[in-house]
Structure formats: structure tokens, C-alpha cells
Structure 1
Amino acid sequence: MKQKLFSISVNRSLMIALVAMLAMGACKSKKKVAQPAPPAPVEQVQQPAPPPAPVSSAEEIAVGKLENYFNSVAAAGNASIANQTIQEALAMFSNQETPVLIVIHEENGIKDYDEPTTIKKYLEYLKDTKKNLNYISDIRMDANGKVSELELRRK
């Protein structure tokens, strides 16, 4: 009988040990569930810096000013206002004989120009006709920041 008692107590001890291990294992898993998982390391994605505000080149600034002068000369109420605006516009050019080319046709990259004129003559033309039918398509500047050549196209 002692053997049976011993085998029962061994079986019972093993059973208790197994239950205890399961209980402890279950406790650990409950703790893992109960405790929040440590946050995953967040990779900080650096967004590229926004592009700098567009900086206008000297040519773009000159085009804007010249377009305003051309429109002002064409819309001038009288000759004295037009002449004053013409003098202001001429200050932007290397000289009064700066060439102004007007594109009348372009095909396959080959441009046909109207008869070449000068900026002085073109501004006088705007004053007389009171119409600005062209826009600046190309501008060339010299080393001093003055306009050395102007190419216009029909609007």
C-alpha cells in the first residue's frame, strides 16, 4: 500500500506542479496582455523643406515692369503723360537704339520677324496707336542689368 500511496502522492505532486506551471504561465501571458506593449520606435520622417519662395530673376522683373510701361504708354490720356512714361521706360534699356524684334510667324523653330525697330520707335508707336497688341517673349540683358534686346509676339 505504501507503494500506492507513494505513487498517488507522486502523481498528485506532478499534477499540482503541472497546474502550478500552467497557472504561472497563464499569469505571465495575462500580464503581457494587461501591460501595453512598448511603443514601436517611431521613425521620424523628415519632410523635405518647402521650396523657397520663387525668387524673380532680373529678367522676370524687367519683363513685368516693361509690360506695365507698354500698357501705360498705350493707355495714356495725353501726350505729356505718354512721353513721361516713355522716358521712364527708356531708362531700363542700354540705349534708345536697342533692337526690338516682333515675331510674326514661327514654324519648325524658324522665326519670321517684322521689320526690326528700336525701342524708342516702338514706344512712340504705342503712344500713337494707343494699342498694345504684343507681349514680351524673350529679353536679353547686358552686364549692367539693362535690356539689350527685346523680342515680342502677338497676343
Structure 2
Amino acid sequence: MKQFVSSISLKRILFMGLVVTLAMGACKSKKKAVQPEPAPAPKQEVVQQAPPPPPARSAEEVAAEKLENNFNAIAAAGSVNSANQSIQETLAMFSNQETPVLIVIHEENGIKDYDEPTTIKKYLDYLKDTKKNLNYISDIRMDANGKVSELELRRK
């Protein structure tokens, strides 16, 4: 037996120690792999609410949009009859045919310079004749009945 012990060298002892250590380390990692992972926290269901509806548009905004469309329709009308029909529909939105239309030609430091004041009837006839809508609505005023009482335009 002494021969057997003596034939085992120090290198073999160290090598066997290394193998045993690795084997024990491998067992530990297998145990960790076999152990179930902790259950993930329950996910809370996210309830998405519908986005809030856009704020209601004011009567002035609705009227301005409709007037812009009517102005473009009058300027682009293919015939005099269709332009006249669009003019009559547009005039129904105003308190009367003499409603003032102011066209801003220049503004500086809050002071506005206007072109010669006109009426809505004359302005609509101008659109029909020139077939060009060069202005946009910058301000609109409504009366108590929901009809346009004053209109301010600006160059596009």
C-alpha cells in the first residue's frame, strides 16, 4: 500500500482536487437551475381610456370654416348661376346684406390699417367677378341670433 500511495504524486492529488471542486460547483449550479424561479409579480391590466373628445368648437369657428368654404366655392364656381346660388347661401349666414367687411392691409404695433370698408354683398360679388379668393377670415363677430354681424379679413 505504501507503493500505491507513493506512486500518487502531488500533481495527481491537485488534479483530483480540482476535478472534485469543479464537480461540486457544477452540482450547485444545477440545483440553482432546477429550483423554480420566483413567480413574476402579477401584471396589472392597464385600461386605456379613450382620449377625451376635442373641445367643442365655438359658433364663430364653425361659421368661419363654413364661410371660407363658401368663399372658395364662389371664387371657383364654373358658372354665374352656381356662383349666385352660393352667394345666396352665404348671405343667409349674415344679419343683413349690408354687414361690414373689413380687410386688413397692414398692421404694426397692434394698429391696423384697413382697405376701404365694403359690405358682404359687394365682397361676394367681387369674389364672383375676379374668381380669386385672396383673403382669409381673421376675425368674425356674431349677433345674438347666431348670424355674422361683422367680418375681418386678411391677405393670405
TM-score (norm 1): 0.69
CA distance in 2, matches of 1:50, 1:90: 38
1:43 is aligned to none
CA distance in 2, matches of 1:110, 1:149: 18
CA distance in 1, matches of 2:51, 2:66: 29
1:143 is paired with a residue whose SS is coil
CA distance in 1, matches of 2:62, 2:75: 20
C-alpha displacement of 1:64: 0.7
Q: How does 1:88-103 map to 2 (within 5 A)?
A: 88-103=89-104
Deviations 1:15-53 (Å, cap 9, x if unpaired)? xxxxxxxxxxxxxxxxxxxxxxxxx9xxxxxx9984432
1:154 is aligned to 155
1:117 is aligned to 118
Q: 1:122 to 1:49 in 2, by over 3 A?
A: same
C-alpha displacement of 1:56: 1.2
1:55 is aligned to 56
1:107 is aligned to 108
Runs of 4 or more off by more than 3 Å in structure 1?
Answer: 47-52
C-alpha displacement of 1:55: 1.2
C-alpha displacement of 1:61: 0.6
Q: Which amino acid aligns with 2:53?
A: P
Q: How does 1:13-28 map to 2 (within 5 A)?
A: none
1:133 is aligned to 134
1:35 is aligned to none
Deviations 1:57-82 (Å, cap 9, x if unpaired)? 11111001000110000000111110
**Aligned CA-pair RMSD:** 2.7
CA distance in 2, matches of 1:136, 1:111: 15
Identity of aligned residues (%): 85
Q: Which amino acid aligns with 1:92?
A: M
2:9 is aligned to none
CA distance in 2, matches of 1:141, 1:119: 14
Q: 1:81 to 1:49 in 2, by over 3 A?
A: closer
C-alpha displacement of 1:85: 0.3
2:81 is aligned to 80
